[in-house]
Structure 1
Amino acid sequence: MIRPGDSRPSRLLDAEDTTAAASGPLLAVCAGHRCAALRRLAGTAGTVDELGAAVRAAPGAVLITTDCLGRCEVAALAGIARHHGPSGQSGRTVWLAGAEQTDRAEALRRWVVDGGPSRLDRPDVDLPPSLAPAAIGLGPGIRITPSQQSL
């Protein structure tokens, strides 16, 4: 679970923006010591930067990097949900393990560029087949509080 103060959004939506285009994927990536070390060891240390580039290319997308999420036993962790721009809420989150693996990191990047989850209630419905083995569960929507919106 992302705790207040732990996340650093890399791109935020204007609170006044109520267009459908403001909806998109909301991606949370663990940047804790172990997850970062796993990415370095796997040769995917630039994954977070690549995901940041994907977020900048995807309308309405938001990237949150966070300190340790406390699930070190599942390797590098990432969560993705559908962000609903008009309401500012996100749908349920599908959590992915092993995000340090080259094929999973690339599949996640492509999914973000392609628009990410299409449904708020079931982000796993259109999960790319290459990410299916990485899915470790569904959780509540990711919340971004006003204190988390400052860079």
Structure 2
Amino acid sequence: MKSTKNTAGIVVALCAGHRCAALIKASDDDGGLAAAVARSSGGVLISASCLQQCAHGAVAAVALRASMTDLTGPSVWLGGLEAPGRLRALGAWVERWRPQEERPSALPHELSQAVLGTGAPVRLTANQA
């Protein structure tokens, strides 16, 4: 069995705040993002608490994780993910990435209008329940 302890992958921090969650639920997405991330090589999907970007529709921060560290590289912020096909395009892009690539391929055309900008790395922390 292959160890995933040091596996690289793409981290998707999807806003799960009330507004974003409602927009995504009402969108044309069939829940394929979670399945695509699960099939990806080292991908991680985080349901983040409200990311305070409500004016931009459903949002997510996407970043590359070199290994199982608690930090990623800089993040790309995407908005309007409730638009038709955007969550599926994001899922397909995450699923195509392979760890031997130094960085993900360019975002697909379907996501080009969703880019809000770049930001700080996504911090991965365990729940302190």
* TM bracket (short chain): 0.7 to 0.9
* Paired amino acid for 1:136: L
CA separation in 2, counterparts of 1:148 and 1:83?
19
Task: Note the alpha carbon deviations across 1:117-144, whole angstroms, 9 max, x for none.
Answer: x556xx6x71212211100010011011
Across the two proteins, how many residue pairs are aligned to each other? 126
* 1:148 to partner: Cα distance: 3.4
CA separation in 2, counterparts of 1:26 and 1:128?
17
* 1:62 to partner: Cα distance: 0.7
Instruction: Tell me which of 117, 122, 126 is aligned to 1:142.
Output: 122
1:36 partner SS: helix
Q: Which segments of 5 or more consecutive residues in structure 2 lack a partner in the other structure?
A: none
Provide the residue aligned with 1:64 in structure 2. 46
CA separation in 2, counterparts of 1:42 and 1:86?
32
CA separation in 1, counterparts of 2:79 and 2:124?
22
Residues 70, 123 of structure 2: 8 Å contact kept: no
Residues 82, 119 of structure 1: 8 Å contact kept: no
Aligned residues: CA RMSD: 2.6
Instruction: Tell me which of 11, 15, 37 is aligned to 1:26.
Output: 11
Taking structure 1 as the reference length, the TM-score comes to 0.72
CA separation in 2, counterparts of 1:65 and 1:86?
18
Residues 107, 131 of structure 1: 8 Å contact kept: yes
Provide the residue aligned with 2:78 in structure 1. 96
Deviating more after overlay: 89-98 vs 32-41: 32-41
Q: How many percent identity over aligned positions?
A: 37
* 1:56 to partner: Cα distance: 1.3
* 1:81 to partner: Cα distance: 0.5
Find out whether 1:127 has 2:107 as its counterpart.
yes
CA separation in 1, counterparts of 2:73 and 2:38?
20
* 1:89 to partner: Cα distance: 3.0
Residues 81, 94 of structure 1: 8 Å contact kept: yes
Instruction: Tell me which of 27, 32, 38 is aligned to 1:42.
Output: 27
Taking structure 2 as the reference length, the TM-score comes to 0.83
Cα distance, 1:29–1:86 mapped onto 2, change above 3 Å: closer
Cα distance, 1:119–1:138 mapped onto 2, change above 3 Å: farther
CA separation in 1, counterparts of 2:68 and 2:15?
26
* Paired amino acid for 2:113: P
